[in-house]
Amino acid sequence: MLDRDAPYLSAVMQYLTAGRVDHALQCAFQYGNEKTLRSALKLLDPRGTWSQLPGEVAAYLAHVLVLLLCKDPLSDKAREACTWLEGLVRVPGGREALARENQQELRKALFCLSGVPGEGGTLASWLYYQLFQDAR
């Protein structure tokens, strides 16, 4: 993939190769675009990555993932975001990384995606329950 389609992807890849996931994500956030970030995330394990991230990077990544999910809940991007949010929810204390101001939009997007047959809908249903039904 060329850097012109995904700005700074080569720099992100260098950070990932060096084991600096936090720097890779910060580079994608600051200089890249959505394609840069999605390309980087495809190379990482969601569950293992969350525990490696400093709090502010984890919170920002969670925020961006919620935005991707809410932008188009029925898209492949939304399903990818759900996979990452599942990893976050499974990490002890991970739910705290989700900003309160995103809760209403997140609830709507998960509810929308949960009606879709298949893995994406099942995952969205699980997340909806974990985040909104189980939190009473």
pLDDT of 73 strictly over 50: yes
Residue 2's pLDDT is 54
Please state the three-class secondary structure of the chain as a single string.
CCCCCCCCHHHHHHHHHCCCHHHHHHHHHHHCCHHHHHHHHHCCCHHHHHCCCCHHHHHHHHHHHHHHHHHCCCCHHHHHHHHHHHHHHHCCCHHHHCCHHHHHHHHHHHHHHHCCCCHHHHHHHHHHHHHHHCCC
- The band of 96, judged by pLDDT with boundaries at 50, 70 and 90, is confident
| Mean pLDDT rounded to a whole number for the chain | 92
Could you tell me what percent of the chain has a pLDDT over 90? 81
- The band of 134, judged by pLDDT with boundaries at 50, 70 and 90, is low
